Structure 1
Amino acid sequence: MADRGVRDEIRAEADRLEENATFGQQGNLEAAKLWTGWSWGLGSVIAVGSAVGGVLTFATDALQYLAGGLALLAAAATGVHGTLRPAKRAERAQSVAVQFLSVQDRARRLRRVDALTSTDDSVLRDRLDVIASQLDAARERADPTPRWAYRRAKRNIERDGGQTHRVDA
C-alpha cells in the first residue's frame, strides 16, 4: 500500500544518496587524475634520470658530475614513487568512483522510476536500505577526498553540468 508522505520521504532520501554518490564519484575521479599524473611524472624522472645518468657515467669529467646528480634524482624519485604508490592510489580512486557511479544510478532509478511505479512502500524502503549500504561500502573503500578535488568536483557538477544526462538537460 502506498502512503504519499512515506513515498515522498523515500524519494527525498534517494535524492540525497544520489547527490552524495555523485560528489563521491566526481571527487574520486579528480583524485585519480592527480595520482595518475604523479605516477607518470615520477616514472618519467626515474626512467630518464637513470638512462641519461647511466650513459653519462662513461663521459668525461664534468659530465660525470651531471651523471651522479641524475642518478641521485632518479633514486630520490624511486623512493617517493615507492612510498606514495601513485599508480595504486589512482587505480583505487577509479575503482571507488565506479562503485559510487553504481550507487548514483540505482538511487536515481529508485527516485525517478521505482518510487513512481511501485505500489509497495516496504519494497521501496528495502531498496533504499540496500542502496544506502552500498554507499557506505563505497565510502569505506575511498580515501578522504582532498579539498581541491572536492572543489573541482563541485565545479564540474554544478557549473559545468558534468553529471547531467542529455535527457535531463
Structure 2
Amino acid sequence: MHESALYSAQYQLEQAKIWRAINLWLGAPAAVSAALAGSAILSSSDNGTLLGASNELGAGLLALFSAALSSILTTVNASRRTTQSQASGNAFLQLQTESRQFILVDLKHLSFDDARARLESITTSRNELNSTADPVGRLAYWKAKRNIEKSGGQTYAVDDMENQD
C-alpha cells in the first residue's frame, strides 16, 4: 500500500507539472498574440489612415493564432487538469503517510482483527483515490518512475533507526 501510494503520488504530481507547462505554453502565446493583434489594429500607418494593408493582415493572422491557441487551451482544460492532478498527488501523499504510520507505529500494538480492519480502511481509501484520479500519460509515468528510482523515493531518518533494531 505504501509503495503504491508513493508511485501514484509521484505520477500525479508529474502529470500536474506537465499540465501546468501546457497551460503556460498555450496561454502565454495566446495572450501575447492577442495583445499584438490589438496593437496592430490601433497603430497608424504612414499615410495617416488607421490601418495599412500589412497591419490588417498581420492583425488578422495574430488574432486567428490567438483564437486557435485559446480554443485549444479551453478544450484541453489544462488549468483544471493541473488542479486535479495536484490534488490527487497530495491525496496519495496523505495515503502514503497514513500507510507509513500504520506500518511503523500502529501495527505493533494492534490485534490481528484490528490491524485487518485498519488495512481494509486504507485499502478503501486507495481504491477511492484510484477511481477519481485522472489517468497519467506515459511521460509523467516515466518521469515519476525515474525520480523514484534515482532518489529511492522519500526516505526519513527513522527508516535508518528502524533497520538498526
Shorter-chain TM range is: 0.7 to 0.9
Aligned to 1:78: 70
Tell whether the 8 Å contact from 2:6 to 2:153 is kept in structure 1 after alignment.
no
Tell whether the 8 Å contact from 1:58 to 1:64 is kept in structure 2 after alignment.
no
| Aligned residue among 97, 108, 117 for 2:100 | 108
Counterparts in 2 of 1:32-43, with a 5 A limit? Answer: 32-43=16-27
The residue type equivalent to 2:148 in the other structure is I
Looking at structure 1, the residues matched to 119 and 90 of structure 2 have their Cα atoms a distance apart, in angstroms, of 19
Aligned to 1:12: none
Tell whether the 8 Å contact from 1:29 to 1:93 is kept in structure 2 after alignment.
yes
Gap change, CA 1:162 and 1:63, over 3 Å in 2:
farther
Unaligned stretches of 5+ residues in structure 1 = 1-16
Q: Is 2:88 aligned against 1:96? A: yes
Identity %: 34
Size of the alignment, in residue pairs? 152
Unaligned stretches of 5+ residues in structure 2 = 44-51, 161-165
1:25-70 deviation per Cα after TM superposition (whole angstroms, max 9, x unaligned) = 0000000001111112222122111111011023432232221111
Looking at structure 2, the residues matched to 119 and 133 of structure 1 have their Cα atoms a distance apart, in angstroms, of 19
User: Deviating runs (4+, > 4 A) in structure 1?
Assistant: none
| Aligned residue among 37, 58, 65 for 1:53 | 37
- Alpha-carbon deviation of 1:168? 3.3
Q: Normalised by the size of structure 1, how large is the TM-score?
A: 0.84
Looking at structure 2, the residues matched to 143 and 53 of structure 1 have their Cα atoms a distance apart, in angstroms, of 36
Tell whether the 8 Å contact from 1:53 to 1:70 is kept in structure 2 after alignment.
yes
The residue type equivalent to 1:22 in the other structure is L
